[in-house]
Amino acid sequence: MNTVYRALGRLLFYAQLALFVQCILLASAVGILASPLLHALHRKPMANWVCAHAMRILARYVLGITVEVDGSQHLLRAKETPCVLVANHQSLLDTVWLAWVLPRNAVVVANMFVSRIPVLGWFMRLGGNLFVKQGDKQSIKALFVDSLQYLERERTSIVMFPEGKRNPSETGALLEFKKGAFYLAYCTHAPIIPVAVQCTYPLYSWADCRFRRGCVIRIRVLPPISTESTTEEDIPALIANTRSDIQTACMSLSLPEARTKLF
């Protein structure tokens, strides 16, 4: 009987995962369709916001996933000036909560392999999103140059994940933050907006074949951090303090665990 239940659980997991992937592809297709008009209007990054809005609808009504955002008023800073948003990076569910906080005029930094995924990768390239190959110095240098152009010339915010890779921690413990996002903010004097996401391990785990439907993802947008008077010597402390603030918020968001129901 236990074998039957495990088999059924895996079947339900893959069914929910397949539905999730279809929602991502459909939202990406919406972004692709909107891209030609937005390109003509010189609003290329807005395709990302259009895709995010579509993903919000699909997540809520098809996947049964909602997002609770605490501190959403801090996102208004990105309407006034380009900002660098930094957040913890955990799993596929990042594509859901990101749809709730993505500024209207923003791009996302993603791993290079994402650009090769059919439909999703096509959309992300059309939306002007940035890609980086981990450990490749030339790729990292190109990312920095392109990011400077977005922040200084095109007045576009950037979303970055300073852990550098997905971190599906069972406890919500963060990896060490990399320097890039903070050095970029220092060079451009762009405000940093930290975003903390609850530990989503209880909601989604590839290893455990778990994908819960009807769940709530809790996130907290922390107050923007000014970099106007930041010096290069201040960067290590800036990184450490931001990581500590996000870690503290993540832990508080994860308790109590979000109410869920199994798909």
List, for residues 77-101, the tens digit of each pLDDT value. Answer: 999 999 999 999 999 899 999 999 9
| pTM attached to this predicted model | 0.92
pLDDT, position 6: 80
Distance CA 232, CA 241 (A): 15
Among candidate residues 182, 166, 184, the one with its CA nearest the CA of residue 174: 166
pLDDT, position 256: 61
Compute the radius of gyration of the chain from its Cα atoms. 18
Among candidate residues 52, 59, 85, 88, the one with its CA nearest the CA of residue 198: 88
pLDDT, position 1: 61
Residues of the chain with pLDDT under 50: 257-263
Q: Do residues 193 and 74 make contact, with C-beta atoms less than 8 angstroms apart?
A: yes
pLDDT, position 258: 40
